[in-house]
Amino acid sequence: MESIKIIEKRKQLEKGQRIAFISTLLILALALLKAFVGYQYDSVLLVADAWHSGADILINLSSLVGLKLASTKTSSKFPYGLYKAETLACLLIGMLIAFIGIDMFRDGWQKLFWMNSQKDFPIFPIGASIISCALAWTLAVKQRAIGKAIGSQALLATAKEAFFDIFTSSFVLIGIVCVYGQIPYIEGGVILLIAGLILKLGVETVWKSIMILMDANMDMDLKIEIEEKLNQIPGVKDVTGVKIRQSGPFKIVNCIIKTGPSLALYKSHDLADIAENMLLTEFKNIASVFIHVEPEQEKVKTAVIPVQKKKGLESRLHSNFGRAPYFMIVKLSDDRIDIDSFIDNDFLDGKGHIGLNVVKSIVHHNIHLLFVPSIGEISFHMLKNHYIDIFKVETEMTVKKIIARYKENRLHPIITPNLSKKNF
């Protein structure tokens, strides 16, 4: 069963197919126009530009075929779909662009030392070049916009080529005027410059396609952004092993999130679901997320203990979580016990759900542990929703003794709430 996001993405790919098909027809019309006018009025530059547009037609056809294959439904033989077909098409596009650049370089070198004489003012070749520039600009803008919207490598590559085609047509226009003015070297020099830019674009496109096919991580900024987003989720202690690979217009993400070591299995599963849904919602080009949850053994843990008075480590535990006058925040490591602060209970005069208000006031301290004799149902579930481990301790114990027993693994976790209302 395909996800809603995959179905939506397929619709976007169909949109890309339409723009690729329309672009192919328009470029074909331009190529025929330039070829006809070029042969009719003996404009070598315009004929060469027509052949360049003919190569663009092949590039657009490659893009169209790639998008068509990428939008094909999954099957038993191709359970991951044919999304990488678009990357293969992009590779072909890059090779064709590079070939065009090499061919134009050779042609420009020949024209550098050859002058074409023309007596009549080339009004029709100039008009064809202007029309070509205007339509190429319109196509390039449209292709780039849709390519970015659907994450299509092929459309983005053809959009880049279309922008270069604008420069090509512009310089061809200049060259036509220069030939009429009998100015030497400019015609061939302009073609050599364009050839170098196109060759650079082709090589970059081929290299990027090869890297994507080899599952290289090409988007380090996205990796950093994913780590930042996941670390904002309550319960996530750390994010490691973020791997991103491109599959056609899709991005597939694998990563590891670390959480508390005593977190129940079902809570770990819920945490993974929250993380996956967040990434799929926040990033439109991510179509699949695989998250592995691991327990983290933190070097420093923050504990909260309800106490009767502020007497440092000799403070004694209060028997009622919600009614305790103070809450002691302690930092625990292997060889240190540091008192962080005391929080006054500002809800002692309140009525009902005091424990809930207390929980809301302490969870912002990045608490890992809570030591209490018992805990009410509402407070229990609120604390567990913030991935805080709760341990049962005897009343009247000092903080120092509680911590000693915790480090000796002599305390038992509270896994169900105490339903007594006084602990709520």
- Taking only the tens place, the pLDDT of each residue in 24-77 is 787 788 888 888 887 887 776 777 777 777 666 766 666 666 667 666 777 778
Continuous segment of H or E residues that includes residue 49: helix 44-70
Give residues with Cβ within 8 angstroms of 292, minimum separation 6.
Answer: 241, 254, 255, 256, 257, 272
pLDDT surpasses 80 at 19: no
Question: What's residue 424's pLDDT?
Answer: 43
* Max avg pLDDT among 128-137, 158-167, 325-334: 325-334
Hey, what amino acid is at 288?
S
Hey, what amino acid is at 22?
I
Please tell me the distance from the alpha carbon of residue 161 to that of residue 56, in angstroms, as a whole number: 8
pLDDT surpasses 90 at 3: no
Please tell me the distance from the alpha carbon of residue 406 to that of residue 392, in angstroms, as a whole number: 10
pLDDT surpasses 80 at 137: yes
4-213: CATH topology is Alpha-lytic protease prodomain-like (1.20.1510)
Give residues with Cβ within 8 angstroms of 110, minimum separation 6.
Answer: 188
Please tell me the distance from the alpha carbon of residue 131 to that of residue 292, in angstroms, as a whole number: 56
Q: 133 or 297, which is more confident?
A: 133
pLDDT surpasses 50 at 114: yes
Please tell me the distance from the alpha carbon of residue 23 to that of residue 401, in angstroms, as a whole number: 77
pLDDT surpasses 60 at 118: no
Q: 156 or 228, which is more confident?
A: 228
Question: What's residue 142's pLDDT?
Answer: 77
The CATH class of the 220-295 domain is: alpha beta
pLDDT band for position 393 (cuts 50, 70, 90): very high
Backbone dihedral region for residue 151 (phi beyond 0: left; psi -120 to 50: alpha; all else: beta): left
Give residues with Cβ within 8 angstroms of 101, minimum separation 6.
Answer: 195, 196, 197, 198, 199, 200, 201, 202
Reported as a single tens digit per residue, the pLDDT across 192-232 is 877 787 788 788 888 888 888 888 877 788 888 999 899 88
pLDDT band for position 115 (cuts 50, 70, 90): low
301-423 CATH: 3.30.420.130
Instruction: Work out the mean pLDDT of the chain and round it to a whole number.
Output: 79
Q: 191 or 329, which is more confident?
A: 329
Residues above pLDDT 70, as percent of the chain: 82
Mean pLDDT of 395-424: 79
Q: Which of 1-5, 270-274, 334-338, 372-376 has the lowest mean pLDDT?
A: 1-5
Question: What's residue 70's pLDDT?
Answer: 63
* Max avg pLDDT among 90-94, 162-166, 245-249: 90-94
Q: Which of 9-13, 242-246, 287-291 has the lowest mean pLDDT?
A: 9-13
Please tell me the distance from the alpha carbon of residue 290 to that of residue 243, in angstroms, as a whole number: 10
Q: 66 or 91, which is more confident?
A: 91
Question: What's residue 216's pLDDT?
Answer: 81
The strand order across the sheet containing 389-392 reads 337-344, 326-332, 301-307, 369-372, 389-392, 412-413
Domain ranges, ordered by start, for the chain: 4-213, 220-295, 301-423
pLDDT surpasses 70 at 420: no
Question: What's residue 422's pLDDT?
Answer: 45
